[in-house]
Structure 1
Amino acid sequence: MIYQAKSFTGHIKKYDQLTGQLVLKNIKQNLTAIISLADIDKTSLVPHTRTSTKEKP
């Protein structure tokens, strides 16, 4: 997701209809972002195979 000249990759955890905001969570870096829909410039879907963590042998 690209917003306000920043980018964030994560899973949508919640959508607040009253405020028009998305809550995104990035599991790998343990980050959370709250982004207003009006601030979003571009979104892209990432395939599930790219988002799942792989176990190391």
Structure 2
Amino acid sequence: MDLTDGSFVLELPYADDRELIMDILKYVADVEVVWTGSLKKRVRSEIQKMADTG
């Protein structure tokens, strides 16, 4: 779904969130996980781990 600001919403099914999280982390500066489920928490956790290790 294209938004008026030029961004878009991508919705896709997935079975294993590990691969999806890796894809999200590749583009972390340019993406936002808007679903408030466990995926968003896992992405935040991975980002925090990366920040902590440095």
TM class, shorter-chain normalised?
under 0.3
- Give 1 or 2: higher helix fraction: 2
TM-score by length of 2: 0.26
- Give 1 or 2: higher strand fraction: 1
TM-score by length of 1: 0.25
